[in-house]
Every structure is written in C-alpha cells, then in structure tokens.
Structure 1
Amino acid sequence: MKVLVLCALAVVTAASSGFQSDSPPVSEVNVAQKQHDVNFLLFKVYEVLRDEHLKHLGETFDPEASSSHYTDDGHAAHALMKELKDGRLLEQKHWFSLFNTRQREEALLLYEVLEHSADWNTFVGNAAYFRNHMNEGEFVYAMYTAVIHSHLTEHVVLPPLYEVTPHLFTNSEVIEQAYHAKMTQTRSKFRSDFTGSKRNPEQHVAYFGEDIGMNTHHVTWHMEFPFWWQDSVEGHHLDRKGENFFWVHHQLTVRFDAERLSNHLPPVEELHWKKTIKEGFAPHASYKYGGAFPSRPDNTDFDDVDGVAHVRDMVIIEGRIRDAIAHGFITARDGSIVDIRDKHGIDVLGDVIESSMYSPNSEYYGALHNTAHVMLGRQGDPHGKYDLPPGVLEHFETATRDPAFFRLHKYMDNIFREHKDSLTPYTKEELQFPGVKIDNLATSGLLETYFEDFEYSLLNAVDDTVEIDDVEISTIVPRLNHHDFTFNIDVINEHEEDVLATVRIFAWPVKDSNGVEFSFTDGRWNAIEMDKFWVKLHPRENHIVRRSRDSSVTVHDVPSFQYLMDRTEDALTDHTELDLHDFESALGLPNRFLLPKGNSKGLEFTLVAILTNGEADAAVENLHTNTKFNHYGYRGVYPDNQPHGYPLDRRVDDERIFTRLPNFKQVNVKVFNRS
C-alpha cells in the first residue's frame, strides 16, 4: 500500500540541490519514468546497471550532499553511509535472510533512506548508489518495501520476484540448465517439476505450496504488513495488522486443507514442540550465492537451535499465550491489562503471536511465529555443525514450499481458535439485517478447475556481462486455474429507500476426509472466504451478479518483467500515460486460486452468503464504488468495521440461529477437476 506522508514536502529540483543528477525536475517525473527507473534498478540485480543514466547516478550520487532532500534531515542516510565507510555492511554475493537480525537492520537502513527521500531524484539516486555498494538481497528487499510504502511510488508496479530472484522460486536442476543455455547461447525453455516424487504423499499438494503466485502473495503480505514496522519511525499506523496476520495465515491453512481433501489426504496435522516432525523436506533449490537450501530428514525431533532459542523456551512462550487467552487479557510491559475478550482482541493476539513491534509485551510473550520459522528452518543443522545457510522457512518467498509450513501455521491457527471460541457467540439481533431477505443463492458457469502451463523468464538467474548478448531462457511450470463463474444472489429490500449492504460469501467442505459431515461450527472454521463487497440495494427485487474474477480476495497475476519494460518504454517513446492500475497490488491470492482443486467426481462444498448492514459495517465512505484492492486495508485503513471472517468468526452453538435468518442463505455445490 502506498502510504501518504503526513508532513508537507517541499518540491525542490535537482538543479537547485547541488545533487549530481541530470534527471528532470521532480515535478516533471511521471509514472512512466519512475516505472522505467524501478525496472532497471531491479533488472539483473547481481550485475552492473544496464541504464546509462542510472549507472551514472550510481557512480556520482552523494547521499549526504544535502539533508534538505530528506524528511528526516538525512539521519538515515548518514547512518547507512557510516556503516558503509566503516566496512560493516554485508558483502555482496552472499545470502540474505530477513530473520537474520543484523542483515535485516542493514536492509531497513536502506529502506529508511528511500522512504525519507523527499523527491524522486533523491529516491532514485540513493537506490542507484546503494545498489552498487550493498548486498543484493538487502537491496531487493529494501527496494520492494520502499516502493510498496513510499508516497513517491504510487502507481508503480513491482516486477515479479520470481523473475528478479529466480533462484528462490526455481529448482536447482532447471537453474543449471539455464546456465548451460546461456553459455552456449541457446534459446531454451525448460520444464520445472514440483519437488519430491509421488512416493511422498505431500507431493500431491505441492502445486499449492510451490505455486509462484501463491509465494508472491505470501511474501507481498509480509512486505505490506512487516513485523518490524514502528509507527514512531514510519509516521503511519497499519490498521488491524495483528488481525490481518491471523486471517491471511488462517486462510492459507484452510485452503491447504481443502486442497488435501481434493487429493484424498487428511487435514494437515499441527506441529508441536514435543512431537516428531514426521515429514522431511528436500527443497531442490539453491541460493544464487551461498550453497543449497538445507534439507530436513523424516521423523526429526525438535532440537535447540544455537543462538536462536531452546525448545523449552518455545513451550514456555506458548503456555504464556494460552494462559492469556484463558484469562481474557494480555499483560502489557508496564503491567497494565489489555482486554482481548472483544472483537479487537484478535488484533492484539495477532501482534503477540507474530510478534510484531505492535506487541504489548514481546519481552514476556516472545515472538512465537518469527522464532518458530527459524527454529523449524534450522532443524537440518541446529548447532551450525555444517555451516549451512538458512532454510526455506527463513524466507517468506520460499516458506510455503515446505509442507511443515502449514503444520506450523495449523499449530498457531489452533491457538487463535482457542481465543475465538472463548468469545460469546453472536445473537440473532446482532446477525439480522431487518428488511433484507435473500431469496436465492446460486452459481452459474462451471465450478471446474484445471492445470495449465505457465512460463516465466530465467534471464536474471544466470551470470552476465554487457559484452554477451541476452538469449531467451525460461521455464514452464504447471499451475492450477479454474474457469470463470458467477455468484447470483436474489435479494428483497423491503425498505422504501436504497440501503447499503455488505455481501459476504464463504464456502467450506461438506464432509471431512473420513466422509463425516462437518458440523456448522466446524464447517465455518474451515470456511474459505470467497468474496466480500458492498452494494446498494434498491427497493424490492435486486439481482446481484458477481463475477469470480472480481473477487476482493484475489488479484491479477503480476505481469512479466518483459511486459512491464515493453509497456513502460512504449509510454516514454510515445509520450503517453502509463496505465498499469490492474497490477498495482500483488497482495491478494492469484484470482485463479479462488476455487480449491476439487476432484473428478465433484468435491461438495457448502456455499453460504450473508448480507449485513453496510452502513454499520463501513469504516470508509463510498465502498460500493471502490475499485481498489483493499481486502487487508488500503493506505493503512481497513474498510470493514467487522472482524475478518464475520459473522463466521465465532463459535456457533446452534446452527438454527443462522439458518433461520432471512439475510442468510446456504446451498451445496460441487467443484470438479478435469485434469
């Protein structure tokens, strides 16, 4: 999300600043030029800059030339330059992990420099300069988060990470083939397979955890809502960040279980510190520099990880969090009590479990999620005996490749459920929408999934020099998709005037892996959020038609690096406006992932829709005309006053409280897979 800086920024041109830049004045820098600069700053990031102007900037720009070009008086720039001059920064061509404290601090120093740049010349000058002097992984992370959050980069679209740093998304065997193609100057396409073999049951759902669009969604969420965010530093609050953390991972977990059910597998079992990690994992991937990602054998017991945590520490932290849920409050650092037995409690609990800088007491409650990622990622070499690099769990780009990721999040999801189930169920009065009745709920179009081939470039995967021409090298991977379909809802508005309604659509499997029908309360906890949107209901009959491709839960595929470059250069050459608004957010799930895979006989789901009072729900105005992706909040404001998953977020002791509501409707549908 591009956030607005709260202070007024003076518009100062490069000519008056004394900066070594021949860029146009900041007032003349249009979106196409910014997109061009971002494209080339991230293109071949391990090699020299391929744009002559940016290359010149990288060689001549002085980050400390004028503090007036920063909103923090240049403090971040001075701090980073001191680290650079003192030789303390991580060397180039070395692995980078956000979970490494020192490496994260260095990346965030660059992020702060970019975020506090008051004009585009300063932003791009710093980016070009530090691209030449900082570790490439730190640079990429800082650039992505800065472009996401800076007021200067609104409407700029980031290229897909799987084409910027392909090693994190592509099997080593394919990378080796790409190097051979480059050395022999042979235009090539290579087929990628999912890791493992069919002897491993987990391989049957690898298409979900290893989907590069899903990986992009996961890492993008953690860039939009980073655990390191501090309001006092950023000058901006991320609304309901802890609740968003809960919901995004809850949805990944229930969707993964739906994929397992589609493939005749039981739901994923939760991981626990005192239980054996049954499934091993061999990533079949390597760092660009630094060796292969470590493997983990089957049937591994958790071991202490040197310099990170003892297993007993994790058990203690878990116990403190469960005690807080049982008591209904968190104890803050100053000893005060933070009540969590209301609809805002999930937000506090999410901050505690992650733990983000928003946690009321990270010293006492620890960082269950963040530490668990490192603990699990290091089980292949917990004591550093083999000096292995970080595991896939220590990168948000690669974490979901490991099936243990979902076991880890099932474990935390069950903790969240303890809290949610401790809350008082909704009453009929809280759930009803007087004067509004759903007459009919149906779908049109096939609820049918299929696998298709997707191609992406490996141009940035191989070493390069300016003297050697590029040759097209790409890989083809299978991915899940589904046919377009629509939700059709017939609604009666008995009022004499228009009313604003929130339409909420969910689906959960009718039966579990043993063929036992889910109770309503278990079903709603396994509910996949299909859509949420706002409509104006006119008096009497209303027919709502909602296309699957318009779901607020999903976004378009990120366009290819080449597409972004071609569109950008066309706009600059033709002096036309660059319009990439369809791709400005990569925060949601890929829109081809809205439906679970299903199976050849048709996997049966309970589809439910509920209409609630939009005026009471809305946290911002004109939501029914909104076209921006804001499912997790836009510009720091979450649009819905109700909790994520409402009204299915609390336990249901008697399903009749829902089934007898006029504003609620449920039907059974089947999802087919024709692969």
Structure 2
Amino acid sequence: RGEHWANALKTMLTRYQWERLSQELGETPEYSAESVFEHGYNPQLISYNGIQFGYRQNDFDYMHYTDFDQFNRFIYYYKRVTLLLEKGHFMTKNGTFIDLRRPESIEVMANFMEGNADLFDSHFAIYWRIFSHMYFAGVDANQLHVLPHIFVNHETMFRDPFTYSYYKRFYQVIYKFNSLLPAYTRDELLLPGVRVANVQVSELMTYFDFSHFDVSTLLNDETLFIEDTYVFDKIFLARQQRLNHKPFTLDYTIEAEQPQKVVVRAFLGPCYDQNRRALSLAEYRENFIEIDEFIYELVAGENTIKRDSRDFYWTIDDRRTYAELYHAVIIALGGEKPLELNVTQQHWGFPDRLLLPQGWAKGYPMQLFFFVAPYTGPHVRYPSYEHSSFSGGVGSGKRYIDNKPFDYPFDRPIIETEFLVPNMFMKNVKVYHELLEEKYQDGKYENYGTFDYTYKENN
C-alpha cells in the first residue's frame, strides 16, 4: 500500500515538473514553514449548494492561520520521521526491530509518510497528513460543519501549484531513503547474452483537444422527473480544452543468444534542467517516469517488438460516463441493440492523455531509457478469477509484474560506470506541439477526441 502511494505521488510530482520545465517556469519550489508564497490561487469553484470554495490568498505563509497547535502537530511528526530515517532503525511497541537501511523497508517509510492503516504503530500520528490539509484550509479538527475548500479535497487541491510544493517537501523523505540504499552493481544489472540494438520512436506530438464532460447533475430535479417518473432524456455537457497526444509507437530490436523470458521497461525524462544544462542520470534519475512495462519471451537471434502508446501498462483511458452506461442499458431494454457486457476498465492508472508534456513547436528535448531485465516472477500472482480491471491492487502487491520495486533500476543511487550495460538503451527524442485552434474555429472539424491524420489532406 505505502509503496504504491509513494510511487503515485512521485509520478504526479515528476509530471508536474516536466510541464514546468517545458513552459520554462523552472524547478518546483519546495515548501518551507518560513516561505511566503506571493501569488495566491483562486479556482472560482462553487459547490453544489452554491457556496464558493475557499482558496489560497496572496502572500500565503504559515502565519496566515492562527491554529498553531495543528501546525506544530504535523511539523513535529515530519521531524520525527526524518529523525527515524537518520537513525536507520526503530523498535515498534511490540518489540519488532525494523531496519530502515533495507530496500524492503520502503513500505514502512511510505506508510509513515502516507499515514495509512498499515502503520506498525497506529498511535504514531496516523492522521498527520489530514491535519496538514485541514490547517492549510483553515479548518479545525473539532468542527462539525466544514465549508468547502480546495485543500480539503484531493480532487481540487492538486489544481493549486502550492500543493506540489508542499508534497515535494515531504517526498524528500522517500527520496533520501532511496539515496541511502547501496547502488546496483554491474553484475546485478547485466543480463548476459542480451543486447538492446535499437529502439525506433515515432513522432511525439501533443495538441489541445476539446473534451466534453457530463455535468447532468447540475440540471434541476424538474427536468429529471416527470409526474414522479425518472426520465433521463437530457444530457448537459461542458466543453473544455485538454492536453492530449497523438498515439506513438516504440519499435524494439533486441538481440539474444538464447531463448528466455524477460521484462522490458521504458522510462521518459527531460534532457536538461531549468538552466538548460545537461545532467547525468545520477543527477536527474528522480525526474524519470516509467511509462511502460511488459513481459516478453525472447527467442535466439534478433527480436522485433512493437509497442503502441495506447497499450502501455501504466496508463488508462477516460472512464465511461454514467450517462453513456445509462443510455446503453435503456437501448438494450428497448431491444434496439444488445448490451455489451464485457466492458472492463481499470480503476487505477495514469491518464494516457497526460503521458507527454506540452512540448514546443520546434521540439522539446527529452530522453527515453529502456531496460531489459530477467523475469523473476510476480510479487503476488493474480487468482484465476481476478483481473486488474476490477481491482486497483493497492495494498495487495498485485500491480507488480515481477518482484522488483517501482522505478527499478532508478530507485537507487546510480554509479554510471557500473550502471550502463548492453541490455540498456537511451535515445534522445523531441516532443512537438501543434496548434489546432484554427481547425476548431472554422466550424468544420468534427473529429473531437481523436487525432485526425487526414485533416490537412482534406482541408
């Protein structure tokens, strides 16, 4: 559970960092109790009952609210966890000794930082992260009635840039834990007899696409009930532009001396820092995100593998809306069309449309890293009746393909003379951005939600 949460948090922070770098906004500032955030954030959200969401005002600092007991509570907990990490071990109340210098202890540290139900000592301030959210929202822990605020809900808090600064601060505990682990040796990373000869990458193109959101719940009850009968014959859609990307492919060429089962991992990361200075893998490993992972049976000789971005392991598409499901059932009941029953959708994953940063018209430089490792068996096997589409797997370990940690081999410090082996491959790429506003404004474009390859030819 904890490692899943830490990996998801790291992915969000890194993806936000990509966007800042591509927009030339620099590194994400790290939260400090002494810092003052000059620019506030007001999303102008209004709750269903008409009350406006609270927001962060200009010149925000820890003196902004006067509930210092709550502030000191989560600051004390943060310091307590960092001291445990520096000490390197701790003893639970039942006498269990836990060594924080072992790789598997990432689960313990992540449980501490998340404050979840799997903590060894539940009295160890399990709700500390909730207290921090309540403090920033100006909410007292004993309040019976709480007004809506962007910091109280995860669905709204990640709209505010301050949230990423705050979470970056305490993710440094996880990063420090990983940095204290021993680096992988060449023998641990080398897969004898296997070499990644080349990986061809198709064009990486992003664009802003119009998307429609079902907000039918905003309709009055009178439009849904006619003579006390529920009638859902109207759909209220809101249109918004969202970042998307054209599907792309990765064509692997892998040479093997003998047949064997392997796991192929693909990572994406920036080439330069905020000053456009090229950095080594050792300096910038935390800014790589694993975008794909799959098992493959290599044969002796040359192996050619084609992967489509729509099939990547860690990404998911938009969920089917309630209105779509409702009308599909009504049509099936009317006998017009049979109901499609085998429509499974994963509950947990990174949005496919956000896989790439916005990029530049002339191409934003990034780099892909590929790693082929021997298959060592899953951490926990799926039962025959269970599938990842029905379960996010959080807390079970079932999201693992093998028994390696998340972000392997970037989960530990890197010694480049030991790190780079023949079963790895790096490739510089560019992410391009195309402006499509003119196509939408002429009123003739109808392929919303998809990338129209023939638009230029037909217009």
Taking structure 1 as the reference length, the TM-score comes to 0.59
Q: Does residue 213 of structure 2 align to residue 453 of structure 1?
A: no
Matched with 1:267 is: 27
1:366 Cα deviation from its structure 2 partner: 4.6
Distance (whole Å) between structure 1 residues aligned to residue 409 and residue 365 of structure 2: 22
Distance (whole Å) between structure 1 residues aligned to residue 391 and residue 104 of structure 2: 17
Work out which of the residue numbers 648, 661, 666 in structure 1 matches 2:410: 648
Contact 1:374 1:394 in 2 (8 A): yes
Letter matched to residue 434 of structure 1: P
Letter matched to residue 278 of structure 2: E
Distance (whole Å) between structure 1 residues aligned to residue 162 and residue 201 of structure 2: 35
Work out which of the residue numbers 294, 298, 304 in structure 1 matches 2:58: 298
Matched with 1:437 is: 195
Distance (whole Å) between structure 2 residues aligned to residue 347 and residue 632 of structure 1: 17
Distance (whole Å) between structure 1 residues aligned to residue 132 and residue 159 of structure 2: 16
1:586 Cα deviation from its structure 2 partner: 3.4
Work out which of the residue numbers 136, 156, 161 in structure 2 matches 1:403: 161
RMSD of the alignment, in Å?
A: 2.8
Secondary structure (helix, strand or coil) at the match of 1:412 reads: helix
Contact 1:304 1:310 in 2 (8 A): no
CA change 1:402–1:506 in 2 (3 A) is same
Letter matched to residue 473 of structure 1: F
1:421 Cα deviation from its structure 2 partner: 0.3
Matched with 1:522 is: 283
Work out which of the residue numbers 347, 355, 358 in structure 1 matches 2:118: 358
Secondary structure (helix, strand or coil) at the match of 1:398 reads: helix
Distance (whole Å) between structure 2 residues aligned to residue 326 and residue 345 of structure 1: 14
**Residue correspondence of structure 1 range 346-495 to structure 2 within 5 A:** 346-364=106-124, 366-378=126-138, 389-444=147-202, 446-465=203-222, 466-467=225-226, 471-495=234-258
1:584-637 Cα offsets, whole Å, 9 max, x none, are 2232122112112111221111210001111x14335699xx985599638932
Matched with 1:125 is: none
CA change 1:613–1:573 in 2 (3 A) is farther
Contact 2:235 2:323 in 1 (8 A): no
Letter matched to residue 226 of structure 2: E
Secondary structure (helix, strand or coil) at the match of 1:312 reads: helix
Say which is worse superposed, 424-433 or 248-257, in terms of deviation: 424-433
Contact 1:271 1:277 in 2 (8 A): no
1:502 Cα deviation from its structure 2 partner: 0.7
1:311 Cα deviation from its structure 2 partner: 2.1
Contact 1:294 1:391 in 2 (8 A): yes
* Structure 1 segments unaligned to the other structure (5+ residues): 1-240
1:361 Cα deviation from its structure 2 partner: 2.4
Distance (whole Å) between structure 2 residues aligned to residue 571 and residue 344 of structure 1: 50
Contact 2:270 2:366 in 1 (8 A): yes
Contact 1:556 1:586 in 2 (8 A): no
Distance (whole Å) between structure 1 residues aligned to residue 246 and residue 424 of structure 2: 26
CA change 1:431–1:416 in 2 (3 A) is same
1:34-60 Cα offsets, whole Å, 9 max, x none, are xxxxxxxxxxxxxxxxxxxxxxxxxxx
Count of residue correspondences: 423
Letter matched to residue 176 of structure 2: E
Secondary structure (helix, strand or coil) at the match of 2:103 reads: coil
1:376 Cα deviation from its structure 2 partner: 2.1
Matched with 1:605 is: 366
**Residue correspondence of structure 1 range 159-198 to structure 2 within 5 A:** none
Contact 1:552 1:631 in 2 (8 A): no
Letter matched to residue 75 of structure 2: V
Secondary structure (helix, strand or coil) at the match of 2:357 reads: coil
CA change 1:273–1:382 in 2 (3 A) is farther
Distance (whole Å) between structure 2 residues aligned to residue 610 and residue 344 of structure 1: 22
1:94-114 Cα offsets, whole Å, 9 max, x none, are xxxxxxxxxxxxxxxxxxxxx
Taking structure 2 as the reference length, the TM-score comes to 0.85
What percentage of aligned pairs have identical amino acids?
Answer: 26
Say which is worse superposed, 572-581 or 388-397, in terms of deviation: 572-581
More relative contact order in 1 or in 2 (CA 8 Å, sep 6+)? 2
Say which is worse superposed, 664-673 or 363-372, in terms of deviation: 363-372
CA change 1:413–1:555 in 2 (3 A) is same
Distance (whole Å) between structure 2 residues aligned to residue 558 and residue 417 of structure 1: 32
1:329 Cα deviation from its structure 2 partner: 2.2
Matched with 1:18 is: none
Contact 2:195 2:255 in 1 (8 A): yes
Secondary structure (helix, strand or coil) at the match of 2:198 reads: strand
* Structure 2 segments unaligned to the other structure (5+ residues): 436-459
Distance (whole Å) between structure 2 residues aligned to residue 295 and residue 657 of structure 1: 49
Matched with 1:51 is: none
**Residue correspondence of structure 1 range 65-84 to structure 2 within 5 A:** none
Secondary structure (helix, strand or coil) at the match of 2:399 reads: coil
Distance (whole Å) between structure 2 residues aligned to residue 593 and residue 347 of structure 1: 27
